[in-house]
Amino acid sequence: MCEVVLRGFGWRHAGRRAWALRGVDLHIAHGERVLLLGPSGAGKSTLLAALAGLLPEDSGEAEGEVQIDGLDPRRHCFPGSPRRPQDRAPVAGNERVGLLFQDPQTQLVMARSGDDVAFGLENRGVPAGEIWPRVGEALDRVGFPYPMSRPTAALSGGEAQRLALAGVLVLRPGLLLLDEPTANLDPAGAALVRDALTRTCQRDTTTILVEHRVAEALPLVDRVVVLEPGGGVRADGAPAAVFAACGDELADRGVWVPGHPIAPRKAVAPPGDVLVRVRDVAVADRLPPVEVDVRAGEVLAVTGPNGAGKSTLALVLGGLLPPTAGRVEYPGQPAPPHRWRAAALARRVGSVFQNPEHQFVTTRVVDELALAGPPASVVDDLLARLRLTHLAPANPYTLSGGEARRLSVATALATAPRLLILDEPTFGQDRRTWIELADLLAGLRDEGRAIVAVTHDDAFVSVLADRRRCLGFP
């Protein structure tokens, strides 16, 4: 049980001009469960890192104070603290602060599930006899369904994140920090993790949760704190009160405030001619036979559970993966798309991958757009349309998630293809970027292009999709 006090706390990362946080005054009592909200860039992750003692003095400038149970998180035996023995407070295998990150794959250390949970206990010098009972208890607490010998490589995203949560909870932290734990997960995985959190977040642990899917996170918390980018606390209180007071403003700034639906953007004109015919296409072990037509002027949403083969279908449509059975026909083209030269492929089909960073090949944003050789006017137009003009000379790898996503869509559009295939385009987007993307895709559709979107996002389907194809159901 930890008490968190911040007085005028501010942080500026080294080398930046703007403060990530400034003048934050916050008091969180023992056992409170808090949802931390704010638009992108409001410093939520920075605040969690400060509480975990992961912001060393030489990596930036601090002001004000932050205390956990009256102690500075950087000076005592917290994760990431300095290593001098005289700075260590006595620890009996219990931890003050536990932090769960968003990517399960980069939190799991060991090859077997039980070993991974035991990792934290080994690090803290817990005697060997106590380790395995505590591991079993932590796994039960999160509802992990497999035995301890289960290989971590065989876990789905949601199961892996549950295991990571067990690894954090086994140390019995008084303060649990969760940095967007369901951001990288599909809805089924996210539900698994929320279920585990419901089971574990009892009154004995102070919890601070940063989460984009606000509506689903509300049952887990009793208090909402809203941060202002470069400033302090904008609003603080019970969820209903906070959303009544500044719900509209938050929704405009990008927070997914419940009760603010998005207007549909469906096609007004009937669909045009068929651009692609998919006939009994199958890929061994990954995609059962499927048949679908893609028409111009239409958004086709491909949905289905994990493992149904949605991404595989997107790759086959985009000419990136040869099917093991069936045909993909582009009327007017004798050869199937997987046989085309890459330059011809890029002119006809634009593929946007789930991870934007996979598609960056140059060192500047403007070079990315100019890669396929479009005229400078087209490049400038794309930069303006996608609000990337101020980032033109920046390195693509330094962009934030939303900016990188917009850039990857822009690069696919640079060659003006008639068909655009997107794999999970709205993954982890805040409300503002989401709406921008929906507007952009609606505009492209109305121009007469065809759009195929592989997605888990039901909101995307209801707002934008003109037709829906479900895979994986009989």
Partner 1 sequence: MTLVLDPVADAAAPLARRNPVAKLAAALLFALPLIATLDPLTAALGLAVELAVLPLFGVRYRVLARRAWPLALAAAGILITMVLFAADRGGALLLSLGPFDVTTGVLLSALGLVLRVFAVALPGIIVFATTDPTDLADALVQNARVPARFAIGALAAFRLLPLLGHEWQMLTLARRARGIDAGRNPVARLRLFASTAFGLLVGALRRGGRLAVAMDARGFDSRVPRTSARRQHFGPADWALMAGAAALAAGALTVSVVTGLFTPIIG
Q: Which residues here bind partner 1, judged by CB under 8 A?
A: 52, 54, 77, 79-81, 83, 85, 88, 91, 95, 98-99, 101, 103, 105-112, 115, 118-128, 131-132, 135, 152-153, 167-168, 171, 315, 318-321, 341-343, 345-347, 349-351, 353, 355, 357-361, 371-372, 397, 411-412, 415
CB closer to partner 1 out of 247 and 319:
319
Minimum distance from residue 391 beta carbon to partner 1 (Å): 18
Planar angle of CA 356, 427, 244, nearest 5 degrees? 135
Question: Is the distance from CB of 416 to CB of 444 less than 8 angstroms?
Answer: no
CB closer to partner 1 out of 125 and 332:
125
Q: What is the dihedral of CA 152, 202, 259, 189, to 10 degrees?
A: 10
Beta bridge partners of 33: 207
Minimum distance from residue 450 beta carbon to partner 1 (Å): 16
Question: Is the distance from CB of 1 to CB of 31 less than 8 angstroms?
Answer: yes
Structure tokens belonging to residue 286:
């990954």
CB closer to partner 1 out of 92 and 263:
92
Minimum distance from residue 295 beta carbon to partner 1 (Å): 22
Using CA atoms, how far apart are residues 236 and 447, in angstroms rounded to an integer? 45
Question: Is the distance from CB of 2 to CB of 29 less than 8 angstroms?
Answer: no
Using CA atoms, how far apart are residues 244 and 457, in angstroms rounded to an integer? 26
CB closer to partner 1 out of 24 and 164:
164
Q: What is the dihedral of CA 100, 400, 420, 442, to 10 degrees?
A: 100
Minimum distance from residue 396 beta carbon to partner 1 (Å): 10
Minimum distance from residue 315 beta carbon to partner 1 (Å): 7
Beta bridge partners of 100: 178
Minimum distance from residue 372 beta carbon to partner 1 (Å): 5
Minimum distance from residue 343 beta carbon to partner 1 (Å): 5
DSSP codes joined into one string, 61-127? EEEEEEEETTB-TTTSSSTT----GGGPPP-SS--SEEEE-S-GGGT--SSBHHHHHHHHHHHTT--
CB closer to partner 1 out of 60 and 80:
80
Query: CB neighbours of 249 closer than 8 A, spacing ≥ 6?
Result: none
Minimum distance from residue 445 beta carbon to partner 1 (Å): 20
CB closer to partner 1 out of 311 and 455:
311
Report the chain's C-alpha Rg in angstroms: 24
CB closer to partner 1 out of 191 and 371:
371
Using CA atoms, how far apart are residues 420 and 165, in angstroms rounded to an integer? 38
CB closer to partner 1 out of 24 and 352:
352
Question: Is the distance from CB of 383 to CB of 374 less than 8 angstroms?
Answer: no
Minimum distance from residue 123 beta carbon to partner 1 (Å): 4
Using CA atoms, how far apart are residues 135 and 117, in angstroms rounded to an integer? 6
CB closer to partner 1 out of 106 and 377:
106
